[in-house]
Structure 1
Amino acid sequence: MSGVPFIAIEGPIGIGKTSLAKKLSVHYDFHLLKEIVEENPFLGKFYDDIDEWSFQTEMFFLCNRFKQLEDIEKKFLNQDKAAVADYHISKNMIFAKRTLQPDKFEKYEQIYHILTRDMPVPNMMIYLHASLDTILERIQMRGRDIEQNIKASYLAQLAQDYEDYMNEFEILHPDIPVIRIDGDKIDFVKHQHDLDGIIEQVDKQLQSFRAMRR
């Protein structure tokens, strides 16, 4: 685990991870790590035909996230510079388990564990969650063309997968605090007081983190 603050933000597609990461990056003057999404050349095809294009899509994401985390460790965390990311690399397994056929998942899992064995681990997680209606509304609002063909049933299953994943994450990583944000009740993009409430929770965790390292 990093000796400086390294915050990861997670949650389903369209929930506002990047928006929150940007706001926290500005507020705390932390380096912003954004996942590569639209640059994935397979993503549009994936949403049209998940079975056909899932392996290529997931491998592209895995390799790019590995490279990003490798860079962030060398250039920032190892230089005592804090960072906030709009993803946690273990999200790859959420999608891979859902989209890959068993034979391809086995190969993917082996590669995943080799690549992530020595990757930096966040010391704080923010989990954004919301109902399917809210997720669909936010996806529509941001208007990415490649996301317009996503099936509601896929998003609903993904939201449940995230919930299961985060519940397991808290059990497996009791030393990493998780801040849960209900997107049905909180809109930190439109309302400053909602953002202030999140920052207040992050402040408490940062104070605890720094106290432990004195």
Structure 2
Amino acid sequence: MHIAIVGNIGAGKTTLTQMLGAHYKWDVMYEAVEGNPYLASFYEDMERWAFNLQIYFLNSRFAQVQQIRSTTYATIIQDRTIYEDAFIFARNLYDSGVMPQRDYDTYLLLFNSIINTVSQPDLLIYLKADIPKLVSQIRKRGRDFESDISVEYLESLNKYYEDFAKTYEHGRLIEIDVNNMDFANNPSDFSQITEKLDKELFYI
């Protein structure tokens, strides 16, 4: 089974991926953030590095999906999906004028070639978070390269995430509002999430 967590920067995807993996004894796949050669440069100069970053993420995500397809004996939970790359991040960069038409068209050609070989996740978990929550968590984790992320950029991404969640047709999706949650430190908040997942996955 393939389960994936989707959500904006700072929504808590990586933390929840780790916690659910430990709770259910699932294999875990994280987003390629550490060691990413373009991420810091992108936040310093988005126009210069947008295409490079999106291609890097697309390749990384495709490699993960191939690995998931070859693993038939385990449940895998993935931090962020290949769909977010195209329908949220690349689309936002193009619509905002950061990624030029030529680069966006090239990106979509590659994405569409890849996506035809990809199986959809069995379940998406969408972490819904408002801007104050995102900003608070981004500041709390203290990654230097994220200090340049603007509120406007997060707001724009949130709009695309809302549209994505409303129109997603590739499989099951459940939404978890994390604005008033602290599942990393509050066991009762984490239990709310696992109870919801138990009902969705195991019909408990």
In the superposition, the TM-score normalised over structure 1's length comes to 0.88
Query: Partner of 1:97 in structure 2?
Result: 91
Pick one of 176, 183, 186 that aligns with 1:188.
Answer: 183
Pick one of 172, 186, 189 that aligns with 1:177.
Answer: 172
Pick one of 25, 28, 32 that aligns with 1:29.
Answer: 25
Give the partner amino acid of 1:53.
Answer: W
Q: Distance in 2 between matches of 1:68 and 1:181?
A: 24
Contact 1:16 1:128 in 2 (8 A): yes
Give the partner amino acid of 1:113.
Answer: N
Q: Distance in 2 between matches of 1:101 and 1:161?
A: 19
Give the partner amino acid of 2:66.
Answer: E
Pick one of 74, 77, 101 that aligns with 1:84.
Answer: 77
Query: Partner of 1:106 in structure 2?
Result: 105
Q: Distance in 1 between matches of 2:83 and 2:51?
A: 16
SS in 2 for 1:84: strand
RMSD of the alignment, in Å?
Answer: 1.4
Structure 2 matches for 1:58-207, cutoff 5 A?
Answer: 58-74=54-70, 76=71, 79-93=72-86, 94-99=88-93, 100-169=99-168, 172-173=169-170, 176-207=171-202
Give the partner amino acid of 2:120.
Answer: V
Deviations 1:36-62 (A, max 9, x none): 013221111111111111000100111
Deviations 1:62-117 (A, max 9, x none): 1111112111221x2xx231111111110111111111222211110010111221
Q: Distance in 2 between matches of 1:68 and 1:7?
A: 13
Deviations 1:132-184 (A, max 9, x none): 11100000001111111111111111111111111111xx23xx322211121
Pick one of 13, 28, 39 that aligns with 1:43.
Answer: 39
Following TM superposition, where does structure 1 have runs of at least 4 consecutive aligned residues deviating by more than 3 angstroms? none
In the superposition, the TM-score normalised over structure 2's length comes to 0.93
Number of equivalent positions: 198
Q: Distance in 2 between matches of 1:38 and 1:49?
A: 19
Q: Distance in 2 between matches of 1:12 and 1:132?
A: 10
SS in 2 for 1:146: helix
Q: Distance in 2 between matches of 1:114 and 1:46?
A: 25
SS in 2 for 1:113: helix
Contact 1:177 1:205 in 2 (8 A): no
Query: Identical aligned pairs, as a percentage?
Result: 33
Give the partner amino acid of 2:185.
Answer: K
Q: Distance in 1 between matches of 2:122 and 2:148?
A: 35
Q: Distance in 2 between matches of 1:53 and 1:197?
A: 39
